[in-house]
């Protein structure tokens, strides 16, 4: 089995003359991405292409030393999350291309390990997303989550947050969307470094849940945007999974309102009506949290979507669906 990023289909393949062909009548020929040899990728490349790496792996600028077994294990886990992120970008036909050194434009990923006293910081800068590979270690990540007083911290969550910063620069900065962004999220021209210093010194406002999806969102409009963007991706991707499995929710519990019942009959990536997406997410997250509690696990989605947060998510929905997706 291999994933074709052009058709966005998972294909059944059979080996033929050193490459792979689809098992259907078309007999389309493919090669696997070079990283398939490292058990890090199952994406396909057209057989006639001269590319060695798929649309997801070609975005990599730096990967850790794979001679180290622990680093290799972490990198594979990071690649799994990154591929899921890139899948979402392809579904929406959001614009991206591999980082180009000569123009200083594009999207690139750097996966690094901290060395001696030099700690690698996860973040985004002008199209380059850096990830400390320690985030792929469950114990390290749990310690960081406790230190930062977070209720949610995952590799995929990091990717979704940082790609939000990238798309702020691509889709909003110096565009007609900037004025509306400021009306929803606030003025991003305020000092970013001063805002973060204040946040880390004083913490979030006591009533941050009334206006923000997370305490970190309250630090600066850029972080509010990136956090909200990440949550929008959480919602859509999870709803798509519910649709793919043919799930429906029809509570039999006394006192549960009828509006919790829902049938996931449409792929969430194609939702035009944001209110429908939000209503279905409310139902699904309630069910997911209840299932986790039955297993003695933390809530899958321990967040509150207030009215101001809903408006921010609706803005992101409007922005994505306003793009001419058929021509990008």
**Same-domain pairing of 46 and 59:** no
Averaged pLDDT, 17-28: 79
**Neighbour count for residue 263 (Cβ, 10 Å):** 14
Would 8 be classed as within a structural domain? yes
**Same-domain pairing of 205 and 139:** no
pLDDT at 324: 60
Q: Which one is predicted more confidently, 255 or 302?
A: 302
Would 166 be classed as within a structural domain? no
Query: Percent of the chain having pLDDT more than 90?
Result: 78
Beta strands 9-11; 2-4: pairing state: antiparallel
Instruction: List all residues 6 or more positions away from 34 whose beta carbon is below 8 Å from its beta carbon.
Output: 52, 53, 57
Helix 178-185 / helix 221-244 crossing angle, nearest 10 deg: 90
**Structural domain that includes position 33:** 1-53
Average pLDDT, the chain: 92
Provide the pLDDT confidence category of residue 326 given band limits of 50, 70 and 90. very low
pLDDT at 260: 79
**Same-domain pairing of 83 and 208:** no
**Neighbour count for residue 286 (Cβ, 10 Å):** 16
165-179 pLDDT, tens digit each: 999 999 999 999 999
Helix 221-244 / helix 307-322 crossing angle, nearest 10 deg: 70
Residue 221 clears pLDDT 60, i.e. is over it: yes
Residue 273 clears pLDDT 70, i.e. is over it: yes
Would 214 be classed as within a structural domain? yes
pLDDT at 126: 92
**Alpha carbon distance 172, 319 (integer Å):** 9
pLDDT at 149: 80
Q: What is the 3-state secondary structure (H, E, C) of 71-111?
A: HHHHHHHHHHHHHHHHHHHHHHCCCCCECECCCCECEEEEE
**Same-domain pairing of 257 and 134:** no
- Burial (CB count within 10 angstroms: exposed 0-12, middle 13-18, buried 19+), residue 106: middle
**Same-domain pairing of 206 and 295:** yes
In the block, which residue shows the tokens 């997801």? Answer: 56
Q: What is the domain count for the chain?
A: 3
């Amino acid at each position: 089995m291999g994933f074709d990023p052009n058709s966005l289909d998972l294909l059944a393949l059979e080996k033929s003359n050193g490459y792979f062909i689809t098992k259907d009548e078309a007999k389309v020929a493919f090669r696997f991405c070079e990283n398939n040899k490292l058990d890090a990728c199952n994406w396909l490349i057209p057989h006639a292409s001269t590319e060695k790496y798929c649309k997801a792996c070609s975005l990599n600028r730096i990967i850790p030393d794979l001679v180290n077994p622990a680093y290799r294990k972490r990198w594979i886990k990071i690649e799994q999350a990154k591929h899921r992120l890139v899948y979402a970008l392809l579904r929406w036909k959001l614009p991206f291309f591999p980082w180009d050194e000569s123009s200083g434009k594009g999207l690139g990923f750097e996966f690094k390990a901290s060395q001696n006293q030099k700690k690698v910081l996860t973040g985004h800068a002008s199209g380059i997303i850096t990830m400390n590979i320690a985030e792929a270690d469950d114990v390290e990540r749990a310690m960081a989550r406790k230190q930062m007083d977070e209720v949610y911290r995952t590799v995929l969550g990091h990717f979704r947050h940082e790609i939000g910063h990238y798309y702020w620069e691509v889709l909003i900065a110096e565009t007609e969307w900037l004025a509306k962004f400021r009306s929803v999220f606030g003025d991003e021209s305020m000092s970013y470094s001063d805002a973060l210093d204040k946040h880390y010194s004083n913490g979030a406002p006591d009533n941050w849940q009334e206006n923000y999806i997370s305490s970190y969102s309250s630090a600066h409009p850029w972080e509010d945007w990136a956090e909200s963007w990440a949550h929008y991706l959480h919602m859509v991707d999870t709803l798509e999974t519910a649709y793919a499995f043919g799930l429906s929710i029809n509570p039999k519990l006394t006192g549960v309102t009828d509006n919790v019942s829902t049938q996931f009959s449409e792929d969430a990536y194609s939702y035009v009506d944001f209110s429908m997406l939000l209503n279905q997410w409310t139902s699904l997250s309630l069910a997911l949290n209840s299932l986790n509690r039955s297993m003695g696990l933390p809530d899958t989605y321990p967040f509150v979507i207030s009215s101001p947060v809903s408006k921010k998510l609706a803005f992101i929905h409007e922005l994505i669906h306003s793009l001419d997706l058929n021509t990008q």
